[in-house]
Amino acid sequence: MLTRSLSTFAALWLAAVSASAQRIPAKPLPAQPGHLVGKYIARGVQIYVCTVKGGMSEWDFNAPEAELFDAQGAPFAKHYAGPTWEAHDGSRVTGKILASEPAPKTGAIAWLLLSAESSGSGVLAGTRFVQRLNTSGGVGPSGPCPTAGIERRVEYTADYLFYK
């Protein structure tokens, strides 16, 4: 009985590890992740603007606009152009894309690994990497756009992980 229980536990554990590994691509993980500051859920929009290039109109990504929440649902930070994340304690991180991986979910924005520069003191001070995973939605409109300068706001969700 004990052997069967251990075998069942081992099989379930391996299945969980395998499923988890499939959700996180190898490329966007930090080479030396360091200390995980936290994992936060973002809800917001990806903003696209109609631009004219060479006589053709098209949708270009402009900026994100989202709120990040902790595991208990409490507001943690806002996310905006830069890309920048600003915690409610005033600490701030600005990122630069190091790696991008197509999202496994159709219609979802890419998973990213970003290097980070932090400012201020607080929870985000010293952050070196930001990772965007488990995205849903956010992909810009396709095809030509009607009028230069108009915006489309596309809802998205994602998990953001911050590493020191």
Token pair for 87: 């915690």
**b vs e for 79-93, b when ≥16 Cβ sit within 10 Å of the residue's Cβ?**
beeebbbbbeeebbb
pLDDT tens for the chain, 164 residues long, are: 433 332 332 233 233 333 333 344 555 666 666 789 999 999 999 999 999 988 889 999 999 999 999 999 999 999 999 999 999 999 999 999 999 999 999 999 999 999 999 998 999 999 999 999 999 999 999 888 989 999 999 999 999 999 99
